[in-house]
Amino acid sequence: MDRINASVDFDRRLYAEDIRASAAHADMLVRQGIITAADGAEISRGLALVLAEIEGDRFTFERALEDIHMNVEARLAELIGAPAGRLHTARSRNDQVATDFRLWVRAQIDTLDAALCELQSALIDRAEEHAATIMPGFTHLQSAQPVTFGHHLLAYVEMVGRDRGRLRDARVRLNECPLGAAALAGTSFPIDRAATAQALGFDRPMANSIDAVADRDFALEFLSAAAIAAMHLSRLAEELVIWSSAQFRFIRLSDAYSTGSSIMPQKRNPDAAELVRAKAGRIIGALIALLVVMKGLALAYGKDLQEDKEPTFDAADSLALAVAATTGMIRDLTVDAAAMRAAAASGFATATDLADWLVRTLGLPFRRAHEITARIVSRAEAKGCALDALPLAEMQAEEPGITAAVFEVLTVERSVASRTSLGGTAPQRVRDAVRAARARLV
């Protein structure tokens, strides 16, 4: 029972939030005349001492006291005596832990937002540097159309921006204070819940005392946003793994983010990217774990809710580490522009440009142009040459109206430069997008 019931081994991470909320609660009790100013001053002094002991690694956590709340309160009683017993007036561990956990998740959101902003900055910097660096764009991991590396990186800037938006949205809904809900029904003491909410930086007290102690939507929203962000990082990590392989050689990860093999001296393993990719599984698993915990709980509080913290702590740690590693890889990687350009020129990546030329120049319906282009590609494939190396006569055998002017659109440079629509891959559009992204980066 001791082992299954105690949570202090992991919820000790809430010590700063617990002490901060206790101090705010004590101040409110004094202002409302519920405890004396002398007792309030002693509680405040004692809480500061407890905080200093924990931060100085001089505090002994006792599993027999179950959780962080009772550990702090017991030590407070040892330090200041009887006044410590007044701190728990008009509150319960139920509203206490709900408040502490909200404060912790809110701080994690703020920290992650700053880290994700730094990742965006790294991506934007590299996108500007490679606004005109041509690479193959893929669908189905097959060469599709030429794009620029800068354009590709900016796709992740947009994805990370949405991640930050989801976290900020979650923060808005999180920012209500449970303190004062007590066990589940409120309290008969004349407390000022608005005062404690304001002191702790919340927008308002939670409106319903049952919901205040039973709700963990804030943790679920955080985990949901974290899971989507981790999925985005995993997609980028997968591309870094592919691009750094000997078969692609588009990029080279620095020694700081690669490792060697224990028996194969030639290896440069993209371990950091692979671990970022794997972290997504832990973070997504944390979301599922807490959803399953919550799905069958009757209101208000059940000890099941003790299982909310470990997955949330682990997910926050894992995501923070993955974001930092990804930012480092993006800033440190070296691009092989020649390898990218050579790959973009293979695989008949300008076939769509040929079809578009047939539509614009000869006035053909696109479906007809598509059919003709497919047959021309087959001819080039049979000859083992690129489209821009296929003799004009071969093209005219499929469509007599084709002229030598068609070769102007068949280079990868011309293809990329022509994609000038909003959000397109033309280098100038990429530079415009870089400026716009920087302007949004706050």
Name the active-site residue from 188, 245, 261, 318. 261
Cβ pair 25, 91 in contact under 8 A? yes
The pLDDT, as a whole number, for residue 408 is 87
The pLDDT, as a whole number, for residue 442 is 77
Name the active-site residue from 140, 188, 262, 421. 140
Cβ pair 149, 130 in contact under 8 A? yes
**H or E element in which residue 139 lies:** strand 134-139
For residue 205, give the DSSP letter. E
Is 261 among the residues known to form the active site? yes
Higher pLDDT, 442 or 218: 218
What 3-state class would DSSP assign to 120? helix
Q: What is the pLDDT of residues 185-226, one digit of tens each?
A: 999 999 999 999 999 999 999 999 999 999 999 999 999 999
For residue 276, give the DSSP letter. H
State which amino acid sits at residue 146. P
Q: What is the pLDDT of residues 29-45, one digit of tens each?
A: 999 999 999 999 999 99
The pLDDT, as a whole number, for residue 349 is 85
Q: Alpha-carbon distance 37 to 73, whole Å?
A: 19
Q: What is the pLDDT of residues 98-128, one digit of tens each?
A: 999 999 999 999 999 999 999 999 999 999 9
Sign of CA dihedral 354, 356, 358, 361: negative
Whether 259 shows a pLDDT value over 80: the answer reads: no
Report CA 231 to chain centroid distance, whole Å: 8
Structure tokens at 174: 């999180």
- Long-range CB pairs of 268-273, under 8 A, 24+ apart, other chains included: 268/244, 270/240, 270/241, 270/244, 272/325, 272/328, 272/329, 273/237, 273/238, 273/240, 273/241, 273/244, 273/329
The pLDDT, as a whole number, for residue 419 is 92
Q: Alpha-carbon distance 233 to 272, whole Å?
A: 12
The pLDDT, as a whole number, for residue 267 is 61
263 pLDDT band (50/70/90 cuts)? low
Concatenate the DSSP letters of all residues of 149-200 into one string.
HHHHHHHHHHHHHHHHHHHHHHHHHH-EE-TT-TTTT--SS---HHHHHHHT
Q: Alpha-carbon distance 291 to 253, whole Å?
A: 37
Cβ pair 251, 337 in contact under 8 A? no
Q: Average per-residue pLDDT in the chain? A: 95
Q: What is the mean pLDDT of residues 18-29?
A: 98
241 pLDDT band (50/70/90 cuts)? very high
Cβ pair 351, 386 in contact under 8 A? no
Q: Is 243 exposed, middle or buried (0-12, 13-18, 19+ CB in 10 A)?
A: buried
Q: What is the mean pLDDT of residues 83-90?
A: 97
Is 140 among the residues known to form the active site? yes
Percent of the chain at pLDDT exceeding 90? 90
Cβ pair 350, 387 in contact under 8 A? yes
Q: What is the mean pLDDT of residues 173-179?
A: 98
Q: What is the mean pLDDT of residues 37-66?
A: 97
Q: How far is CA 427 from each of CA 176, 246, 284, rounded to the nearest angstrom?
A: 46, 28, 36
Cite the beta strand spans of 188-262 per DSSP E.
204-205, 251-252
Whether 266 shows a pLDDT value over 80: the answer reads: no
Sign of CA dihedral 383, 387, 389, 392: positive
User: How many other C-beta atoms lie within 10 A of the C-beta of residue 85?
Assistant: 14
State which amino acid sits at residue 259. T
